[in-house]
Amino acid sequence: MLSKTPPMGFNTWNTFGENINEKVIMETADAMVEKGLLDAGYNYLVIDDCWSEKERDPETGKIVPDHIKFPNGMKYVSDYVHSKGLKFGMYSCAGTKTCAIYPGSFDHEFLDAETFAEYGADFLKYDFCFVPQGANGPLLYRKMGMALKACGREILFSACNWGSDNVNTWIRSTGAHMYRSTGDINDSFVSMKDIALSQVDNLAYSAVGCFNDIDMLTIGMYGKGNVGSTGCNDIDYKTQFTIWCMYSAPLMLGGDIRTFSEDTLKLVTNKILLRINQDEEARPAFIVDDGGKRKVFAKHLSNNEIAIMCVNFGDNDEGANIYFENLGIPAASGYGLEMTDVYTGECIGVKKEFLRLPVAAHDCQCFICKLAK
């Protein structure tokens, strides 16, 4: 089964935008392996928009890779990516054009799916720009879902309609394995916060087989690249990564992996956070304490563990309250939680009934916990 757990990998858009080419992809593939990201589970390398010529081949009707960016064609790049043990991802759009105005797959769904299979693609991100007026959104995704089933290759279907048409209510029925629920992220705390808060009521719509995709990560961008914006600092990135893990969201890196620092690598390969994200039951996090911009989330994991995250989306330092009663652990039970800090690995002991934790502006605390007396 594809998408047993949230897909992980890298996507070119956040950093490179239209500045993609064979060299960037091959160097990124090398870096994913050399820096231990493949070993940590980041196995898809996805080429986003702007990879093709502006027109289809007039004779075959096929989309054609840009001959300057990809002089050896796409199979060559895909073979290289596969030779590194990675999986290869492509991008197209349900409309007549992609968002950056390259050919879209509208009315060419089966031909394009076959073309991607010929390239050796394992993943297709499918966008939603230039959809003809009156077209039925769900049907467009159903068509590509069928085309991918027919193409003779197992291809992970990554839908991207930014949450339109109440996507979470029908997207699983199209065969999609993940779906974008939000508009585009940029590398600022505000953008990340708005995206995170917009999905608080939709956490149950991310489950085994089809995960709620809250967009590619901006971790490690520090304001550089296609969606650079104001940039973020390491505290902001720590909160971003922890939220994505708590939400069972796909983890698609968007920073330039070739330049990732040790600190960035340490964050995105944190074993406990990845365990929380990749937990086989993919249970939704629930809110234990809602202070508006300051929230406490808890998430059941498969081995009797519980993850707890206190996050402060606000700009002032605050304290977060954990009432164990709200976690389902009443005082009368005698139970509390043995709590281990996911970043330091330090166990802070067994806590019961009530715990107040300081959370600095933009920061978070996160623990992996076991019931204990």
User: Closest approach of Cβ 150 to ligand GAL, in Å?
Assistant: 24
Kindly write out the interface string for residues 5-24 of this chain, putting x where it contacts ligand GAL by CB under 6 A and - elsewhere: --------x-----------
Catalytic residue among 79, 165, 184, 234: 184
Binding of residue 66 to ligand GAL (CB under 6 A): no
User: Closest approach of Cβ 185 to ligand GAL, in Å?
Assistant: 8
Out of 113, 160, 276, 306, the residue judged to bind ligand GAL by CB under 6 A: 160
**Closer CB to ligand GAL, 124 or 288, in the complex:** 124
User: Closest approach of Cβ 195 to ligand GAL, in Å?
Assistant: 12
Is 184 known to be catalytic?
yes
**Closer CB to ligand GAL, 103 or 336, in the complex:** 103
User: Closest approach of Cβ 270 to ligand GAL, in Å?
Assistant: 25
Which part of the chain contacts ligand GAL (CB under 6 A), choosing from 52-60, 96-104, 112-120, 248-256? 96-104
Residues numbered 118 to 157 that lie near ligand GAL (CB under 6 A) are: 127, 129
**Residue whose CB is nearest to ligand GAL in the complex, by number:** 99
Is 127 known to be catalytic?
yes
**Closer CB to ligand GAL, 127 or 305, in the complex:** 127
**Closer CB to ligand GAL, 192 or 368, in the complex:** 192
Which part of the chain contacts ligand GAL (CB under 6 A), choosing from 32-40, 57-65, 97-105, 253-261? 97-105
Query: HEC profile for the chain?
Result: CCCCCCCEEEECHHHHCCCCCHHHHHHHHHHHHHCCHHHHCCCEEECCCCCECCCCCCCCCCCCECCCCCCCHHHHHHHHHHHCCCEEEEEEECCCECCCCCECCCCCHHHHHHHHHHHCCCEEEEECCCCCCCCCHHHHHHHHHHHHHHCCCCCEEEEECCCHHHHHHCHHHHCCCEEECCCCCCCCHHHHHHHHHHCHHHHHHCECCEEEECCCCCCCCCCCCCCCCCCCCHHHHHHHHHHHHHCCCCEEECCCHHHCCHHHHHHHCCHHHHHHHCCCCCCCCEEEEEECCEEEEEEECCCCEEEEEEEECCCCCEEEEEEHHHHCCCHHHCCEEEEEECCCCCEEEEECCEEEEEECCCCEEEEEEEEEC
Distances from the Cα of 193 to the Cα of 160, 168, 177, 244, 295, angstroms: 20, 20, 24, 11, 12
Binding of residue 184 to ligand GAL (CB under 6 A): yes
Catalytic residue among 127, 215, 236, 363: 127
Q: What is the bridge-based pairing of β-strands 8-11 and 44-46?
A: parallel
Which part of the chain contacts ligand GAL (CB under 6 A), choosing from 70-78, 94-102, 109-117, 313-321? 94-102
Binding of residue 48 to ligand GAL (CB under 6 A): yes
Out of 33, 40, 64, 100, the residue judged to bind ligand GAL by CB under 6 A: 100
The catalytic site residues sit at 127, 184
Given the rule CB under 6 A, which residues bind ligand GAL?
13, 48-49, 98-100, 127, 129, 160, 162, 184
